[in-house]
Structure 1
Amino acid sequence: LETTVGGIPLPSCVYNASGPRTGASTALAKIAASKAGAVLTKSATIEKQTGNPQPRVWHSDDDIASMNSEGLPNSGIDYYLSKTTIDETMEGCTTTKPYLVSISGKTLADNLEMLDRIAKQINDGEKRIAGVELNLACPNVIGKPIIAYDFDQMRDILDTIAKKKYTFVLGLKLPPYLDSKHLQEAASIINEYSDMVRYVVCINTIGNALSIDPISEMPYISANNGLAGLSGPAAKFTALANVRQMRQQLKSEIDVIGVGGIQSGEDAFLFLLCGASAVQVGTCHWIEGPKCFDRIVDELQQILQKKGYSSASDCIGKL
C-alpha cells in the first residue's frame, strides 16, 4: 500500500484528513500509532482560536451525512510546529511516516507568516515536518468567500507564495467544484505553479448545506444561520468526480489526494481508480476513531489481493 505524495514516501496510502480528532498531540499520537500512512494536523491559524459557537457539528442518524461549521478551532501554528508536539505525536509510531502541517490563514499575510515559520523551523533542524497542506477551501470562515472559488485571488496567492521559493513540499486543499468549467479553470491556474504545488487534496466539505430539527423547528447548527459544510458518504460521489477530473486536468507531476465520504477499503479503492495517489479519511475518523485506519487499510489490502494488484500504485487511475 506504499505510495508517494508530492515526492514524500508514505508507508500506506490511507491517512487522516485535517479536521476531526487532529487538534492536539494526544489525538495526533493515536493516528501515528495506527496504520495511517501519515499524520496531518488540524488546519492552523496564527493564533489559537476556539471556533464558532456550539452546536457546530451534526451527524444524521444513519451516518450518511455529517455537517460542520466549526470555524477552524485550533491551537495556533506554533503549537503544531513545536518539537514537543511533534515528539508527543510521533513517539508511539512504529514505522517511518511523515508529519504534515495544515494551515488556513485568515489573510494572505497570515498564510505567508505561517509558511515563513514553517520554513524557519525546518531550517533550524526540525526535519520531521515533511510537507504543508495550504487550505484554500474552508467555507466556515463567516463573511469570507472560499479562496479557491475566486480565481483572481487564488492566482495572486499562488504567485506571491511562488516568489518566496520555499523548499518544502506544498499541497493545496481544494473545495468541491460543481461545474466542470470551474474545475478546469482551477486546474489550469494550479498547472502554472507545478514547480511549487506538488499535490492537491479534493475535496473539502460541500459548503452551504442545511440540516433542520423538525421538533425544535431550528437548524441543528447554530453558527452561520445553520449553514454548514456537508461531509460523509453523501459527499463521496462529488469527491470521486472531482478527483477524476483533477487527475485528467492537472500535469502528471502534481499528485491528487482523494477525500470525501471514505468509510471502507472499497471506498478508498474507488478513489485510487479515479487517479488518487492517496486518500484521507475525515468523517469516518470523527465517528469511529483512529481504529478506522487499521480497518480501512486491511480492507483495501484484501481488495487489491483479491483483484490481483500487487500494490496500490498498480490500480491508480485505472478507471
Structure 2
Amino acid sequence: MVQVHTIEISPPLINASCAWASDLAQLRELYDCPYTGAVTTRTATLNGFGEDDSNTVVFAASSTSSLNSYGYSPHPLASYLSWVHTLLTTPTASGSTPSKPIIISITAASSTVLGEMLDEIQELRVRLKQIHHSNGAAGVIDPSTLVAVELNTSCPNIKGTSPPAYNFPLLLPLLDVLASTFRSDSSLTIGLKLPPYLYSTRFQEVVRDLSMYSRGVPGSEGQDTANPFAFITSTNTLGSSLFFADQTTLPSSATSSDNAPYALPTQLGGLGGEALHPLALGNVFSFAKLLGAHSDPAMRRVVIFGVGGVTSSEAVRRMYGAGAKIVGCATMLGLMGVKVFRYLTDDASD
C-alpha cells in the first residue's frame, strides 16, 4: 500500500490516463479489476474535446510501442463526475463496497476554467462525503472520499499549442489555482502529469517551482511543511514522433486510410510503450533524486507515478528501481485490455 496524501493505492499498479479509460464501461472494468490499486480517467476538459477519425493509435511491429494522435476526451467533465459518482456509490462486481480511489484527470487552458472544474470536483467530493456520513459507521471509508485530481500539463497532440509544462513558468497561473483549492481544503490529493524532459535543468526547474508552494504546517514550529502537489506522473508520451505504415502491425483506421506511407492520419503523434521506456526511466530517476535530496519535507513526500514502457514485470521493477512508488501503463492496456494488470502482477511474482 502506498499513501499518496489522503488516498491509499494498493496494489501500487494503475492505468495511466489514456483513451482506454474514456467511458463508464471502460472505467467500470478498470475499477472492478482486483489488480489495479486506483483508476485514472482519460483527461477531461470542461465541455469535451473535439475528436474525429484522425485521432487514433497504431502499434509497432518490432516492439511493444505505440504512436497516438489522441487529444483529450470527447466527454465533458460532467460526464466523468457522474460516472465517478456511480462507481463510488454502487457495489463492485464482487459485491463489495467501493474503496478504490479514482484519479480524475483534467486540463484547462485558463485559470478561470480550471477553477470552475475544481469547484465541480469539490462538489462531487462533498456529495460523496455526505453519502458516507449518512451510512454511519458501516460506511466509514473517507480517505478522502476516494477522489484525487491530476492536472494533465503535457499532451503533445493539441494543434497550435505546446504542452505548457515544457515552459514551466507559463504553468504557474494554473498551479496557483490548484494551490488555492488545496489551501481551502487540504484533504484534496493533487498531482501533475508531466511530459518527458530531455535535460537536467528542466527537472530542476520543475522541482524549484513546485517547492515555492510549500507552507509551514501550523503547530509544527517550523519543522514540517505542506505542499499542494502530492504526486507527479512521469511521463506522458513523446510528441512529434513518426511511424511509417510498414512499421506497424495491428489493423487500424489509420493504416487503412490514404495517409501512406505514414501510419497516422496526422503523421506525427505521441510515442509510448517500449520505445519510450529508457527516457521515462531517466525522468523518474531524475525527479526521484532531486525530490529525495530536497531540504523541504513536503517535497520529499511527493510520490512519483512511473509511466512509460511498462510492458513486463522487468519494466515494473525498473520503474521501482528508478524511484517510482506507483507504476502505471497505457500502451499495454490498449493491447491487452484489463487482463494486462494480472499479467504484470503474475509475471512480477515469478
Q: What range is the shorter-chain TM-score in?
A: 0.7 to 0.9
Amino acid at match of 1:188: R
Deviation, 1:49, is: 3.1
Q: Does 1:37 align with 2:37?
A: yes
TM-score by length of 2: 0.79
Deviation, 1:201, is: 0.4
Gaps of 5+ in 1: 303-319
TM-score by length of 1: 0.87
Q: Does 1:220 align with 2:240?
A: no
Q: Which residue of 1 aligns with 2:150?
A: 133
Amino acid at match of 2:107: S
Q: Does 1:99 align with 2:98?
A: no
Deviations 1:137-189 (A, max 9, x none): 11111111211011221223212332332431000000000111112111211
Cα distance in 2 between the residues matched to 1:107 and 1:52: 24
- Secondary structure of 2:233's counterpart equals strand
Cα distance in 1 between the residues matched to 2:128 and 2:7: 18
Deviation, 1:90, is: 6.3
Percent identity of equivalent pairs: 29
Which structure has the greater CA radius of gyration? Answer: 2
Change in 2 beyond 3 A, CA 1:144/1:90 = farther
Q: Which residue of 2 aligns with 1:281?
A: 329
Q: Which residue of 2 aligns with 1:317?
A: none
Cα distance in 1 between the residues matched to 2:232 and 2:90: 24
- Secondary structure of 1:219's counterpart equals coil
Deviation, 1:240, is: 0.4
Root mean square deviation, CA, Å: 2.2
Amino acid at match of 2:61: D
Amino acid at match of 1:173: K
Q: Does the CA-based 8 Å contact 1:42-1:74 persist in structure 2? A: no
Q: Does 1:209 align with 2:229?
A: no
Q: Does 1:240 align with 2:281?
A: yes
Change in 2 beyond 3 A, CA 1:134/1:216 = closer
Cα distance in 2 between the residues matched to 1:208 and 1:31: 30
Cα distance in 2 between the residues matched to 1:160 and 1:52: 31
Deviation, 1:42, is: 0.9
Cα distance in 2 between the residues matched to 1:89 and 1:208: 42
Amino acid at match of 1:91: T
Matches within 5 A, 1:125-164: 125=128, 128-164=145-181
Cα distance in 1 between the residues matched to 2:330 and 2:91: 20
Amino acid at match of 2:23: A
Which of 277, 290, 294 is the aligned partner of 2:338? 290
Cα distance in 2 between the residues matched to 1:136 and 1:89: 32
Deviations 1:287-309 (A, max 9, x none): 1100001111222234xxxxxxx
Cα distance in 2 between the residues matched to 1:216 and 1:173: 31
Cα distance in 1 between the residues matched to 2:55 and 2:175: 35
Q: Does the CA-based 8 Å contact 1:45-1:106 persist in structure 2? A: no
Deviations 1:230-264 (A, max 9, x none): 00110010000000110111221111110001011
Matches within 5 A, 1:69-108: 69-82=69-82, 85-87=86-88, 91-92=92-93, 96-108=99-111
Deviations 1:188-237 (A, max 9, x none): 112222410011000000111112236964322123xx111000110010
Matches within 5 A, 1:103-114: 103-114=106-117
Change in 2 beyond 3 A, CA 1:98/1:25 = same
Change in 2 beyond 3 A, CA 1:213/1:163 = same
- Secondary structure of 2:120's counterpart equals helix
Matches within 5 A, 1:15-54: 15-34=14-33, 35-54=35-54
Change in 2 beyond 3 A, CA 1:219/1:108 = farther
- Secondary structure of 1:125's counterpart equals helix
Cα distance in 1 between the residues matched to 2:319 and 2:245: 33
Deviation, 1:86, is: 2.4
Amino acid at match of 2:193: K
Cα distance in 1 between the residues matched to 2:91 and 2:113: 27
Q: Does 1:229 align with 2:270?
A: yes
